[in-house]
Structures are given as C-alpha cells and as structure tokens.
Amino acid sequence: MRSSWPADRLIGWLLPVLAILAEGAWLTVVYVAVETTIDGRPPILGTFELAAAAGLAAIAVRRRLLRPDDNPLTFFGALLGLGALGWLWDERVRSLVLVGDVAGAIGLHPGGWLLIVAAMRGVGRGVEIDDRALTRLVLLGVPGLAIPWVLGQLGAGDLRPIFVEDAFVASLTFVSAGFMAAGLARLQEIGRETGVDWRTNRSWLGTVLGVLAIVLAIGVPAAYLLGLPVDTVTRGLIGPVFSIVGYVLLAIAFVAAIGSAALYEALSRLGFSLPGPLTPQEIARLPEMREYTIDQLQGPIMTVAILWVGILLLVVIVVRTWVRRRAGGRPRGGSEERSFNIPQGSFRLEIPRLRGFRRPGRHGPPTDAVSAYLATLDELAAHDPARARLEPESPHAHAARVKLADLGTLQADYALARYGGRHLTDAEHRRALARWRRIRDRQRRRPS
C-alpha cells in the first residue's frame, strides 16, 4: 500500500514520528523527576533530545546499520555512545572530564543515561509500528505517569515549580502524540486488512484533530488548576517544533560565525583594513538596548508558530484534495475504484491422483523459517493427522486450533516472511529451525 504521491509519503512519516515522540515524552517526565529530585537542578534535556535518540536508533535499525541480533557488540557500543553523549550534555561533567576528574563526574547528570533507554525503545519502532504495542504504550503509560509525578511532587523541594511545568508539558506531549500514533496505527492495520491506504482519505486528519481537541479541553483546565500559564498547553502540543527551530538557528549561527571569521581573515590577507571587534569600554558607551526574556517572547513566538502550523495544515489539505484531483485528471464528481483479493486456492488446478503415483513433496531438511514451517506441516500430517492443517484453514486458524507449542511462532514467522514482505534475521531463521526440530522430535516419539 505504498503511495507514490509526495503528499501521501509525507503524511506516512507522521505515524513513526508520533510514535517516537510519545516514547521520548514519557521518558522526559521520568528525566525531569530524576533531575529535580536526585540531581537537584533544573533539567537540561527535553522531549526533543530523548525522542531524537529513539529516532536515531529506529532509523539505524530500519536501515540495517545496527543489527541487535546479529551484531550485539556493535549495538551495545552504540548504546554506550548515546549514554555518554547524554552524560556529557551537562557542562559540569564536561568541565571535570577536561581536567581529568572522571571519577568526580560519574555521579553527575544521572538523567542523561536515559538516552540509552530511549535508544532501546526506538529499536522496536524501527522494526515495525504495531498498533497493539502503541495501544499498550498509551494504556499503561498514562497511569504510569503517576510514579514520576509523585516522586517530583514529594522530592523536588525548591525546584517543585520547575518540575510541575516541565513535567506537565511533557505529559501533554505524551498524551497527544501517543493517542494520535495509536489511532493512526489502528487505521494502518485496518488498511492492511481492507486494502485501503489510510493516507489517501481524511480519516487520519479527523483522528489528529480529534485528539488535539480532547487534549486542549483537558489541558487548559489542568494548567489553570496547577497555576501554570495557558501557553504551557501549546508548548505541550508543539513544543518539539520549537526545539527543532532552536537547533536550526543555532546551526545557522555557528556556520555564519565560521564564515564571517574566514571572510575576515581572507580580506585581511588581501590588504583590506577592517575594523576590529569592539572593546568592553566601547560596548558600554553604546545606546542601551532593551532586553527581552524568554517568558516575554513566548507569547509572540507561540502565535507565529500556531499560524505557520495552520498554514502548513491547510497546504497539506489543499495538496491532497484539489491539486491531486486536478493532476490525476479526475472528473469533478469524483470516481470510485474498488478492488478485491482472491484467495490463492481459488484458481488451484486440481490434478487427479493416479493409482501407483505419488504427488511430489518437499525434499531435504528446511533451511529457513518458511521451509521450517512447511516441514512442520509435513510432520504433523505424517504422524498426527488430527493436527494436520485442513485445506480451507488459514495458518493462523490452524495454529489456534492445534495449540501446539512453537507452532504459533513458526506460523507468525512464515506469515511475516511470505506475505508481510519482512526480511527475517539469521537469528530468527535459526530459532525457527530449532522449533521445527523440537516439534519433529516430539511427534516422532509419540506412539503411532
């Protein structure tokens, strides 16, 4: 169900991004509680950083740059590298490491090691986005937020207002992103069963807008009860966008600083006399410039961000409806296209069996998960006909009826490799062969 339309491909990224964002937001609540209660200082990491760690791990596993089953040492080294990056995010840690006091820096910034947990959570999202897993994440994660909230409320001390604000923003991000991801994953699963791509209709838009409306209806009164400004609700919904913009501006400023320094050096070597940097005394004589705090700028920035999000959403809707219809040459009234799947057995050619002849079967031992499942069916048919798979029976229904140990897992591997188009790892193939051997040995030990 892959679409070639650019807008549909762009919308397809929404599900994994929301799933990874939900993982990072839940861990952020835990991180804020750890920093304010154990480390005794305001948190320096946020939802974007923890979600970015999970996203990098998911992309690496998806692109097969990391193979936890085949190369566990490489995967373990990557996790340690991310943990060290989160640990060194603290300026105190970097200062002690630079002077050689590694032992004194070990106990600092304990929450930074949550990047390892975020990366491990991202591994599962890199393999497949499962609607059941996301549903469990939301149903267990929402009540699970009570643990870091209780910890932060009781142990934050003077940092309690900081904990409440940061934890509230991350909790709203988790609730909104988690429910959106669970809803879109369910639409994707329904699309697999019906053959309808969820990206090509407006059901995804209704899911997103419905979740946003519910979160706003709950978040605004909750912010009022906690004594927080209303803009914290907006930060909980689109806070990671601000983090992305901040890092982009920081990168642009860094590149501009390097370019200006190189240009200054080049012009100086060519003989151009350029004014030098201002001294502190010259800076003091400059007219006083009004300074703005982050709190004063949050309102205008929020307004601009909401405006651009609305414009982007409008552009997506227009691209998917009006532009796509015009480009495809559809009539104004629209057209209807239907499809149906025909079971493979419907056109199976039945060859009558001749007396004295046998229908050719599979020869040789199995070599992968698919052949291991087929060989298991042969063993069941040969030694226990009551457990053999019936002709109109699906592999899943057969495994549910037989209730034989290891057969359900073999059936799942077979369905993923044969019909799901998933590339199984060597470890999965080895485990499938081991399950076939166990079933074969048990069947052959049974009395005939």
Task: Give whichever of 236-250, 258-272, 325-339, 354-368 has the largest mean pLDDT.
Answer: 258-272
Task: Give whichever of 1-5, 10-14, 43-47 has the largest mean pLDDT.
Answer: 43-47
Residue 298: band (very low, low, confident or very high) from pLDDT cuts 50, 70, 90: low
Query: Which structure tokens are listed for 183?
Result: 């809803």
Q: What is the mean pLDDT of the chain?
A: 77
Residues in CB range of 290: below 8 A, 6 or more apart: none
Q: What percent of the chain has pLDDT over 90?
A: 4
- Tracing tokens 């997506």 back to the chain, one arrives at 316
Mean pLDDT value across residues 165-187: 88
- pLDDT of 278 over the 50 cut: yes
Q: Name the more confident of 3 and 447.
A: 447
Whole-number pLDDT of residue 1: 45
Query: Which structure tokens are listed for 3?
Result: 């679409």
Whole-number pLDDT of residue 249: 76
Least confident span in 4-8, 81-85, 243-247, 415-419: 4-8
- pLDDT of 213 over the 70 cut: yes
Q: Torsions phi, psi of 245, nearest 5? A: -60, -40
Mean pLDDT value across residues 113-137: 81
Whole-number pLDDT of residue 346: 41
- pLDDT of 403 over the 80 cut: no
- pLDDT of 284 over the 80 cut: no
Q: Name the more confident of 176 and 359.
A: 176
- pLDDT of 50 over the 60 cut: yes
Q: Name the more confident of 307 and 29.
A: 29
Determine contact, residues 366/433, Cβ cutoff 8 Å: yes
- pLDDT of 324 over the 50 cut: yes
Residue 274: band (very low, low, confident or very high) from pLDDT cuts 50, 70, 90: low
Q: What secondary structure, in 3-state letters, does 102-120 show?
A: HHHHHCCCHHHHHHHHHHH
Whole-number pLDDT of residue 344: 47
Whole-number pLDDT of residue 12: 67
DSSP string, 312-365: HHHHHHHIIIIIHHHHHT--TT-------PPPGGGG--PPPPPTT-------S-
Sketch the domain layout of the chain as residue ranges. Answer: 6-235, 364-445
Mean pLDDT value across residues 69-91: 86
Work out whether the CA dihedral 31, 181, 17, 249 comes out positive or negative: negative
CA pair distance 391, 194, nearest whole angstrom: 23
- pLDDT of 193 over the 80 cut: no
- pLDDT of 225 over the 50 cut: yes
Length of the chain: 448
- pLDDT of 270 over the 60 cut: yes
- pLDDT of 395 over the 60 cut: yes
DSSP string, 238-262: HHHHHHHHHHHHHHHHHHHHHHHHH
Residue 306: band (very low, low, confident or very high) from pLDDT cuts 50, 70, 90: low
Query: Which structure tokens are listed for 325?
Result: 């219809």
Residue 205: band (very low, low, confident or very high) from pLDDT cuts 50, 70, 90: confident
- pLDDT of 5 over the 80 cut: no
DSSP string, 55-68: HHHHHHHHTTS--T
